[in-house]
Amino acid sequence: MNPVRRNARASTSARATRKASSPPGAATGAALLALLCATMGALPAGAQAWPTRPVRIIVPFAPSGVTDVVARLLAARYTEAWGQAFTVDNRAGAGGNVGAELVARAPADGQLLLFSTASLAVNPSLYAKLAYSPQRDLLPVTGVVSSPQVLVVHPSVPARSARELVALLRKRPGGLNFGSNGVGTTSHLAGVLFAQLTGAEVTHVPYKGAGSVVGAVLAGEVDMSFFAVSIALPHLRSGRLRGLAVTTVKPSALLPDLPPLDRFLPGFDTDNWFGLFVASATPRAIVDRLNAETLRAMQSAELRAAFDRDGLQPLGLGPAEFAAFFAKEVEKYAKLVAVSGARAD
């Protein structure tokens, strides 16, 4: 007998014996393991190991605001999940552009993250020249939460609903004014959209930050404004301000009696959202890991309690959904900025 053929038959027999003695599912498990190894082998080495050293989360605003608070809660969850320190680094300035540009220009290795707000969608239209492009240089990872705004008026304003306020404005064109956190802020652009959809004239009075405009409305210096739920709530409860409606198409869980403005002004939908971004060339493996851990963290009791306390509505948008959402926000705010004529530089 040909020794080669004999050895071949013996090898075939041995394989058959091994196959027969293998436990059920072993072949499938081996195939999946091989596929996983092949996939991992195709990823950049840095993406496989990430994170191997501490990671910074850039918050492009001052400490203590909602953006800062949510970012720090997420940082703690990331640290626990990956065993590497995730720290928040506040880099305020130029309406969020200072911190955003820092991440946009950073190496795309997942070591520098950006946790920002709807301002990132406003700034391309608000600033004539940006040293970076939010759409081109940043990659959306997860849309985390949304903060509805509340249309509030001073108690001296004779309107107890959004419908009554619109009727009053149409009778007294230019007779009311609204305060905002500043030119080009979401509170300003909410007022622009309100005037556009009602056809009423209102006078815009910009302030430097939320604290200043809150004081102005409480003092009766301005008639109305759009406040975040967390800011409006104590003043609504005390009766020092009157809430008429919320700016999102869904009611706020903290203010269920206030209807959405969309019911009276179809198409009215503004909010201040918060989300996670990285440099645009960051490996997909890192993006997916960040997104998965963020969605997991959002289910924790600590984050859910923080969301409820501040009237934040979970979004939970993954990379593709968040990218599509972000593109629409950029387009929406471009139109409002054009109508307002606002410029930041």
- Give the three-state DSSP class for 151: strand
**Which residues, including other chains, have CB under 8 Å from residue 99's CB and lie 6 or more apart?**
58, 59, 60, 61, 90, 91, 92, 93, 114, 116
71 burial class (0-12, 13-18, 19+ CB within 10 angstroms)? buried
pLDDT band at 2 (very low <50, low <70, confident <90, very high): very low
**318 three-class SS:** coil
The rounded distance, in Å, linking the Cα atoms of 106 and 113 is 9
Question: Which carries the bigger pLDDT value, residue 311 or residue 2?
Answer: 311
What are 135-170's pLDDT values in tens digits? 999 999 999 999 999 999 999 999 999 999 999 998
Q: Which helix (H) or strand (E) holds 14?
A: helix 3-21
CA–CA gap between residue 315 and residue 322 (Å, rounded) = 9
For 278, phi then psi, to 5°, come to -135, 170
Length of the chain: 345
For residue 32, what are the CA distances in angstroms to 24, 41, 196? 14, 14, 57
Residue reference for tokens 């606002």: 342
Please give the CATH topology (third level) of the domain spanning 148-263.
Answer: D-Maltodextrin-Binding Protein; domain 2 (3.40.190)
Q: What is the percent of the chain where pLDDT is above 90? A: 78
CA 41/CA 202 separation, integer angstroms: 61
How confident is the model over 91-103, as a mean pLDDT?
Answer: 95
Locate CATH 3.40.190.150 in the chain.
52-147+271-340
* DSSP secondary structure, 175-224, as one string: --EEEESSTTSHHHHHHHHHHHHHT---EEEE-SSHHHHHHHHHHTSSSE
Between 1.20.120.160, 3.40.50.12640, 3.40.190.150, 3.40.50.300, what CATH number should domain 52-147+271-340 receive?
Answer: 3.40.190.150
pLDDT above 70 (res 48) = no
Please give the average per-residue pLDDT across 183-190, as a whole number: 94
Rounded CA separation 328/68 (Å): 25
Average pLDDT value for residue range 84-109: 96
Residues 6+ positions from 29 with CB-CB distance below 8 Å: none
At 229, the pLDDT band (50, 70, 90 cuts) reads very high
Inter-axis angle of helices 186-198 and 319-340, nearest 10: 70
Amino acid at the residue 117: T
Give the pair of three-digit tokens for residue 112. 């520098």
**Coil, strand or helix: which one is 313?**
strand
Torsions phi, psi for 86 (to 5 deg) = -110, 120
Pull the structure tokens for residue 6. Answer: 């004999």
The pTM of this model reads 0.83
Distance of CA 47 to the CA centre of its chain: 24
Name the residue with higher pLDDT: 274 or 310: 274
The mean of the pLDDT values for the chain is 87
- Distance in angstroms (rounded) separating the CA atoms of residues 86 and 293: 13
Tokens 């471009």 sit at which residue? 334
User: Is residue 36 very low, low, confident or very high in pLDDT (cuts 50, 70, 90)?
Assistant: very low
Stretch 7-19: mean pLDDT: 39
Q: Which of 32-46, 144-158, 160-174, 319-333 has the lowest mean pLDDT?
A: 32-46
Helices and strands in the chain: count of H runs, count of E runs: 14, 10
Mean pLDDT of 300-307: 95
Q: What is the pLDDT of residues 252-273, one digit of tens each?
A: 989 999 999 999 999 999 999 9
Give how far Cα 2 sits from Cα of 9, 12, 72, 232, 325, Å.
11, 16, 74, 91, 70
Domain limits, CATH 3.40.190.10, in the chain:
148-263
Nearest to 86 by CA among 272, 273, 289, 284: 289
pLDDT of residue 174: 73
